[in-house]
Amino acid sequence: MTREVVQIRGKADREKIARWAAGVPAGTTVEFRAPRRSLDQNALMWSLLGQVSRQVDWYGQKLSSEDWKDVLTASLRRTRVVPGIDAGTFVPLGMRTSQMSKQEISELLELIIAFGAERSVQFREFTDSLQETSPSIAAEPAAVIPTSVPVAAGNISREVA
């Protein structure tokens, strides 16, 4: 049997899965996962990372959006780092965001916003997309970010220097 993926949208999908399950051989593995991040969440993440990248110096360096994704994802996930194959190199483990659930990406978005707020990043207005992608952030009064006004969010819960 090849790999099959079904997004459950209703009764018909549930019935299809039940029929498949009845016909597969013993030993077949079935996996259920929470919905992955949405395209809107992904777009918001890259917008926020771009704004952080343009406005924050990190230990005297400007980092790219991709670099900031790695730095902030490592903080969120408490990423482990192991020595690389070449001497003097290190590799962070578990950095992918493409497999994040909607809840995980919401947590990453919250971290990006809090991190930026502590560093006076002036996020341009994004409240509409924020409401759709991360309602828990948008529900907070500090998440309503007017154009050209820094967020005042206080300290974030992680040590990020």
Convert the pLDDT of each residue in 78-122 to its tens digit.
888 899 999 999 988 877 888 888 999 999 999 999 999 999 999
Give the helix/strand (H/E) hosting 16: helix 11-23
Between 110 and 135, the more confident residue is 110
Listed residue (132, 139, 116, 127) closest to 37, CA to CA: 132
The pLDDT of 65-82, averaged and rounded, is 91
Please give the torsion angle defined by the CA atoms of residues 46, 66, 100 and 13, in that order, rounded to the nearest 10 degrees. 60
Give the helix/strand (H/E) hosting 125: none
73 in Cβ contact with 108 (< 8 Å): yes
pLDDT at residue 32 greater than cutoff 80: yes
The pLDDT of 137-150, averaged and rounded, is 40
The pLDDT of 129-133, averaged and rounded, is 57
Of 31-40, 69-78, 114-123, the one with minimum mean pLDDT is 31-40
Q: What pTM value is reported for the model? A: 0.60
Listed by start position, the domains of the chain span: 1-32, 39-143
CATH of 39-143, one of 1.10.3790.10, 1.10.357.140, 1.10.3720.10, 3.40.50.410: 1.10.3790.10
41 in Cβ contact with 109 (< 8 Å): yes
Listed residue (135, 113, 122) closest to 68, CA to CA: 113
**Residue recorded with tokens 């809090």:** 114
